[in-house]
């Protein structure tokens, strides 16, 4: 405050203007393409005018009328859900074990979980094809899900580990034991409530990643099991408006998930389970 007060009023005004211009530029840069896409997906015709000549939901209607696209959406959602289930089934028990029984092992787990993060998606996908699909002809959707799981491991790990590290789970479990709780009660009353927010934010993160993923889906799912992202890419060559509508749908999904993520994170920060250390 004191520093600001000493500045001449003119300089302060200039600073405010520069800041406003910068923020406006960034917002335009980010929002304009999105806005145009939305407009385009809703336009009847848009060639000679600044704004479209008329509006219609035809592109959306067409998208949902196309059984292929609907199947693509179903596949993407299925793959996302399966990825979540497999990921949680792997990460939650491993992290619980490490936090409750073998804290010294956590560094190794952390290292292992970060490895997939260091590999580009293409490399990972090709490696998976060479290892599983070419020699054994493992089902492609299954391999896709397992690869997504691999890619999302670091995110899963971080989010759930953060939730577990925020509380001294080991001592909480011991406290529950001395209070007469068996393992079922401990899981339900102690572990689950303290890990739920972490699991939810991990899930949302992974959902946002997996639902619109293209490279790995293209290489692993291929033409036999096209996901939403593949149809979306194809639509660009057939009908621009449908492509725009699909892009808006995809973005909408990610946006909803992100908002949910922020809400979860915000609530956790507010009524945060914090132990005195």
Partner 1 sequence: MGARLQAVGLEKEYGAAMAVDGVDLDARPGEFVSLLGPSGCGKTTSLRLIAGLERPDAGRITIDGRDVTDVPPQRRGLGMVFQQYALFPNLNAYENIAFALRVRRLPKAEVERRVAELLAVVHLEDAAGRYPHQLSGGMQQRVALARALAAEPPLLLLDEPLSALDAAIRDELRTELRRLQRALELTVIYVTHDQAEAMAISDRIVVMERGKVNQVGSPQELYDRPATRFAAGFIGASNRRLTTVELVAGHPTIRWGDARLPIARNGPLPPGSTVMAAWRPEAATLTDAGNAASALHGRIELITFLGPITRLDVRVPGDDEPVLVDLVSTAAAHLQTGQSVAVSIPPDAIRIYA
Smallest gap from Cβ 260 to partner 1, in A, equals: 20
CB of 155 to partner 1, least distance (A): 23
Q: How many residues belong to the site for partner 1 (CB under 8 A)?
A: 25
For partner 1, the closer of residues 152 and 201 by Cβ is: 201
Q: Which of 81, 88, 146, 172 binds partner 1 (CB under 8 A)?
A: 172
Per-position DSSP letters for the chain, written without gaps between them = -HHHHHS-HHHHHHHHHHHHHHHHHHHHHHHHHHHHHHHHHHBS--SSSSS-S-B-SHHHHHHHH-HHHHHHHHHHHHHHHHHHHHHHHHHHHHHHHHHHT-GGGHHHHHHHHHHHHHS-HHHHHHHHIIIIIHHH---HHHHHHHHHHHHHHHHHHHHHHHHHHTTTHHHHHHHHHHTT--HHHHIIIIIHHHHHHHHHHHHHHHHHHHHT--HHIIIIITTTS--HHHHHHHHHHH-HHHHHHHHHHHHHHHHHHHHHHHHHHHHHHHS------
Q: Is 190 in the site for partner 1 (CB under 8 A)?
A: yes
Cβ-based nearer residue to partner 1, 10 or 180: 180
Nearer to partner 1, 130 or 189 (CB): 189
Which of 4-12, 40-48, 180-188, 218-226 is the region at the interface with partner 1 (rule: CB under 8 A)? 180-188
Candidates 4-12, 62-70, 188-196, 199-207; binding stretch for partner 1 (CB under 8 A):
188-196
* Nearest-approach distance from CB 178 to partner 1, in angstroms: 4
265 near partner 1, judged by CB under 8 A: no
The binder of partner 1 chosen from 47, 137, 178, 223 (CB under 8 A): 178
Choose between 62 and 168: whose C-beta lies nearer to partner 1.
Answer: 168
The answer to whether 194 contacts partner 1 (rule: CB under 8 A) is yes
CA–CA separation, 195 and 159 (whole Å): 10
What does the binding site for partner 1 look like in residue numbers (CB under 8 A)? 167-168, 171-172, 174-182, 185, 189-190, 193-194, 271-277
């Amino acid at each position: 405050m004191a520093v600001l007060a000493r500045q001449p009023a003119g300089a302060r005004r200039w600073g405010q203007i520069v800041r406003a211009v910068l923020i406006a530029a960034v917002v335009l840069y980010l929002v304009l393409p999105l806005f145009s896409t939305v407009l385009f997906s809703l336009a009847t015709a848009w060639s000679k005018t600044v704004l479209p000549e008329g509006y219609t939901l035809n592109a959306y209607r067409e998208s949902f009328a196309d059984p292929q696209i609907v199947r693509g959406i179903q596949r993407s959602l299925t793959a996302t859900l399966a990825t979540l289930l497999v990921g949680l089934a792997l990460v939650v028990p491993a992290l619980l074990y490490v936090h409750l029984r073998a804290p010294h092992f956590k560094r190794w787990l952390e290292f292992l979980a970060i490895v997939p993060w260091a590999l580009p998606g293409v490399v990972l996908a090709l490696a998976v094809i060479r290892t599983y699909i070419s020699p054994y002809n493992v089902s492609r959707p299954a391999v896709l899900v397992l690869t997504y799981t691999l890619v999302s491991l670091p995110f899963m790990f971080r989010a759930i580990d953060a939730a577990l590290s925020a509380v001294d789970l080991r001592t909480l479990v011991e406290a529950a034991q001395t209070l007469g709780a068996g393992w079922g009660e401990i899981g339900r009353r102690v572990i689950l409530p303290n890990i739920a927010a972490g699991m939810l934010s991990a899930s949302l993160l992974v959902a946002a990643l997996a639902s619109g993923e293209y490279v790995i889906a293209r290489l692993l799912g291929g033409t036999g099991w096209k996901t939403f992202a593949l149809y979306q890419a194809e639509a660009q060559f057939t009908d621009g408006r449908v492509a725009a509508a699909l892009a808006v749908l995809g973005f909408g999904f990610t946006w909803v998930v992100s908002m949910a993520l922020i809400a979860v994170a915000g609530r956790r920060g507010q009524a945060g389970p914090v132990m005195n250390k």
